[in-house]
Amino acid sequence: MSDLTLILTAIGSIALLLFLVMKVRLHAIVSLILVSMLAGLFSGMNPATIADTIQKGMAGTLGFVAVVVALGAMFGRVMEETGALDQIAHTLLGKFGHKKAHWAMSLTGFICALPLFFDVAVVLLIGIAFAVVRKGGGSVMKIGIALLAGIAACQAFLIPAPGPILVASQLHADFGYMILIGLLAGIPAMILGGPIFGSYIAKKVHVELPEHEQADNQQREGETIPSFALSLSIVVFPLILIGLKTIVSRFVDPNSSLHDWLTLLGHPFTAILLACLLAFYVLGVKRGIANDKIMDICGSALQPAGVIILVTGAGGVFKQVLIDSGVGAALGNTLSGSGLPIVALAFILAAAVRVIQGSATVAMLTACGLITPMLTALHLDGAQLAAITIAIGGGAIVFSHVNDSGFWLANRYLGLTEKQTLQSWTIMETIIGTTGGIVAMLVSFFL
């Protein structure tokens, strides 16, 4: 099958998805799996292998997302029910004021997401955004978009965030320049996509605080509200564990037992599990809350988490079908002979793969693989390679839509319709990615 046919099949599949979800109002899970099957058939896949691809896509996505979302939901709910998140929100509002709460949220996401995968950061931090809204810090849209923008900008441009550091290592980019260019790209991207765009879109799109988050501002469990220091320490605890693994393990012998322990303790599964146990004990048992009550809180958290997990898994199915059908390779073949500047080409390749298959991390790695053969003859230095890495990061987050797990995380957590998610989340991601791509191209002229 020709490259053009594969690309047209992918475009048609995305259009059909949008139609089924937004116009027909078919449930997202059913729409994603149905369109995945049709995309496989029209791209020339063997019908006998499509079911296996669907299973692989679901398993590959849920193998990580299910554990993270389930543990993170329980962790966040305990933090919420015991008043810990409200304490953090109260302190942030006291420092920044109600009018600047969205700036506090963007900065929180930008810093705290450094050692995390995107899904992990959203799960761990979204409860703070809801608590800020409960405390009167603004609308759900204004505060939520501000937080998500901080996380997204960090994940696209900053090391040691997983995507950028992985691409930088494969392209042999200079890590010092990665930090510098990453900040030059990430800070304005965060500001434009978060506080500025969030304030604008909040006037156009209004949503209520999700029902399960509409608790009052009074303490709900335990005799006293936890202190700010204790509450923040529990939130930061898993971030520290993951950060130690990400940063310290680079300076440790990879064959040593210390490296092995850092790998285990710094894995999101372990870090969030230990954070859950710490929260259960410090916020629950130690403050006189019965174990049965703690488990009831955890059980209530898993109900909304289940929908998020299944929709995200269905998005993984669509992504896997598009990958196995050879669309990524077809796209690389089409664009590699275009004659564009290498930084612009890196951005476009990453953006095209992102639109077709959804995952930002996969888009980064796919674009990296497509661009690497073109770099051999250019003899670029580490600084120029850092600019290319930032351009890839920017392209890999633009135009997020229904095949991206981040789209559905924003959709479900903020209680949006699919149209509202496109109006808010998708545009926010595009602002951030485009800003980063422009900065990378401008910087490349001076390197």
The sign one gets for the Cα dihedral 89, 97, 107, 316 is positive
435 close to 394: Cβ distance less than 8 angstroms: yes
Residue 397 to residue 431: CA distance in whole angstroms? 9
pLDDT over threshold 70, residue 160: no
Residue 341 to residue 343: CA distance in whole angstroms? 6
pLDDT at position 328 is 58
pLDDT over threshold 90, residue 149: yes
pLDDT over threshold 80, residue 26: yes
pLDDT over threshold 80, residue 239: no
Instruction: Reply yes or no: is the peptide bond before residue 160 cis, omega within 30 of 0.
Output: yes
Confidence of residue 156 (pLDDT cuts 50, 70, 90): very high
When mean pLDDT is compared across 112-126, 217-231, 297-311, the lowest value belongs to: 217-231
150 close to 120: Cβ distance less than 8 angstroms: no
The sign one gets for the Cα dihedral 351, 353, 357, 362 is negative
pLDDT at position 431 is 97
Q: What is the 3-state secondary structure (H, E, C) of the chain?
A: CCHHHHHHHHHHHHHHHHHHHHHHCCCHHHHHHHHHHHHHHHCCCCHHHHHHHHHHHHHHHHHHHHHHHHHHHHHHHHHHHCCHHHHHHHHHHHHHCHHHHHHHHHHHHHHHCCCCCHHHHHHHHHHHHHHHHHCCCCCHHHHHHHHHHHHHHHHHHCCCCHHHHHHHHHHCCCHHHHHHHHHHHHHHHHHHHHHHHHHHHHHHCCCCCCHHHCCCCCCCCCCCCCCHHHHHHHHHHHHHHHHHHHHHHHHCCCCCHHHHHHHHHCCHHHHHHHHHHHHHHHHHHHHCCCHHHHHHHHHHHHHHHHHHHHHHHHHHHHHHHHHHCCHHHHHHHHHCCCCCCHHHHHHHHHHHHHHHHCCHHHHHHHHHHHHHHHHCCCCCCHHHHHHHHHHHHHHCCCCCCCCCHHHHHHHHHCCCCHHHHHHHHHHHHHHHHHHHHHHHHHHHCCC
**pLDDT, mean over the chain:** 82
- Characterize 287-323 residue by residue with b for buried, 16 or more Cβ atoms within 10 angstroms of its Cβ, and e for exposed: bebeeeebeebbeebeebbeebbbbbbbbbbbbbbbb
Confidence of residue 194 (pLDDT cuts 50, 70, 90): very high
Question: Looking at per-residue confidence, does 129 or 374 come out higher?
Answer: 129
pLDDT at position 146 is 94
pLDDT at position 198 is 93
pLDDT over threshold 70, residue 377: no
The sign one gets for the Cα dihedral 195, 136, 107, 418 is negative
Residue 125 to residue 239: CA distance in whole angstroms? 11
Hey, which of 91-100, 146-155, 257-266, 368-377 has the most confident mean pLDDT?
146-155
- The amino acid sitting at 423 is Q
pLDDT over threshold 90, residue 435: yes
- The amino acid sitting at 393 is G
When mean pLDDT is compared across 92-96, 152-156, 219-223, the lowest value belongs to: 219-223
Q: In the chain, what percentage of residues exceed pLDDT 70?
A: 89
101 close to 128: Cβ distance less than 8 angstroms: no
401 close to 14: Cβ distance less than 8 angstroms: yes
Query: Rounded to an integer, what is the distance from CA 165 to the centroid of its chain?
Result: 15
Residue 431 to residue 194: CA distance in whole angstroms? 9
Confidence of residue 426 (pLDDT cuts 50, 70, 90): very high
Give which of 84, 123, 299 is closest to 291, Cα–Cα: 299
For 76-132, write each residue's pLDDT tens digit: 788 878 888 778 767 877 788 778 889 988 988 888 777 566 777 787 788 888 888
- The amino acid sitting at 51 is A
When mean pLDDT is compared across 50-59, 70-79, 188-197, 329-338, the lowest value belongs to: 329-338
Q: Which two tokens stand for residue 96?
A: 């920044």
Residue 140 to residue 170: CA distance in whole angstroms? 39
Residue in the block written with tokens 């053969």: 373
pLDDT over threshold 80, residue 18: no
For 36-74, write each residue's pLDDT tens digit: 899 889 888 999 999 999 998 888 778 777 887 788 888
pLDDT at position 217 is 46
What's the burial of 41, exposed, middle or buried (CB within 10 Å: 0-12/13-18/19+)? middle
Residue 164 to residue 156: CA distance in whole angstroms? 6
Mean pLDDT calculated for residue range 23-28: 81
Residue in the block written with tokens 């890196």: 346
Question: How many residues are listed for the chain in this entry?
Answer: 447
pLDDT over threshold 60, residue 218: no
pLDDT at position 219 is 47
For 255-302, write each residue's pLDDT tens digit: 888 888 888 988 878 988 999 999 999 988 888 888 888 888 888 878
Residue 414 to residue 79: CA distance in whole angstroms? 18
Give which of 132, 329, 146 is closest to 213, Cα–Cα: 132
